[in-house]
Amino acid sequence: MQGTNPYQYALSCLGGKWKMTILHHIHHHGTIRFSKTKKTLPVSEKVLSQQLKELIEDGLIERIQYNTIPLKVEYILTPAGERIIPALDMIYVWSIERMNELNIEIDPDAFLVHTQKKYHKCVSQIIDNYEQLCDFVDENNQIPHNK
């Protein structure tokens, strides 16, 4: 009897191009709506729709439909989705550190969406390498949400 490799299972749940970003986005905002997310993330409507469907199928997010006119739909993290967030945080920090070591250019938006204190140590050490981002840092060496 052959079982499923846990790493492969995790990759199947998180491996879509936008899945980790979507999960973080929901975690950060509490809930998301399709139309607002489509405007916020540089992802096509088709890809966003597919990634959301797969995250629902994998039990990481839940789709809540309200009986209103116009129709209102929101997405929230399930308990399983909430449990994956610490792992995503570790992957994010590792990625920033590793990309910095390899001199791989980091998308400046990656710093803007990860402004919580838990990322500050990693981001503040590396942000010095990104002069173009210095305009975003306030007097407390924080990245304001409104920029």
Domain range summary for the chain, segments of one domain joined by +: 6-78
Query: Rounded to whole angstroms, how far apart are CA atoms 25 and 31?
Result: 8
Query: Rounded to whole angstroms, how far apart are CA atoms 132 and 120?
Result: 18
Per-residue pLDDT of the chain (147 residues), as tens digits, is 688 899 999 999 999 889 999 999 999 899 999 999 988 888 999 999 999 999 999 999 999 999 999 889 999 999 999 999 999 988 988 888 898 889 898 887 776 666 666 666 666 666 655 544 445 545 554 445 444
Are 2 and 35 in contact by the 8 Å Cβ rule? The answer is no
What angle is formed at CA 33 by the lines to CA 28 and CA 36, rounded to 5 degrees?
90
CATH number of the domain at 6-78, please? 1.10.10.10
Type of residue numbered 46: K
Helix or strand run (H / E) with residue 66: strand 61-66
Query: Rounded to whole angstroms, how far apart are CA atoms 141 and 125?
Result: 10
